[in-house]
Amino acid sequence: DRVTRDWMGLALLPQAGVAMGMALVASNQFPEYKHTLLTIVISSTVFFEVVGPVFTRAAIRHAES
């Protein structure tokens, strides 16, 4: 339904940790961008792992209503 679809993105934010593995693979393929790539991915992953559960809870509550 529409409510579930509208809130699904927020519910997926805690899955950002998968990006860490992908960033490590990419940094091996592009060593010239390794420092920049890992800095951005690690920073954004930490941020989304902190705020992700809050948004997931909100998404679930809105989808139930």
Closest C-alpha among 54, 19, 55, 25 to residue 40: 19
Mean pLDDT, residues 4-10:
75
Cα separation, 28 vs 20, whole angstroms: 13
Give percent of the chain with pLDDT exceeding 90: 29
> In terms of pTM, does the model score above 0.85?
no
Residues 6+ apart with CB under 8 A from 38: 23, 24, 27
Query: Given 3-state DSSP classes, what are the helix, strand and coil percentages for the chain, each rounded to the nearest 5?
Result: 95, 0, 5
pLDDT band at 13 (very low <50, low <70, confident <90, very high): low
Mean pLDDT, residues 16-45:
90
**Phi then psi for 30, rounded to 5 degrees?**
-130, 75
pLDDT (0 to 100) of residue 30? 96
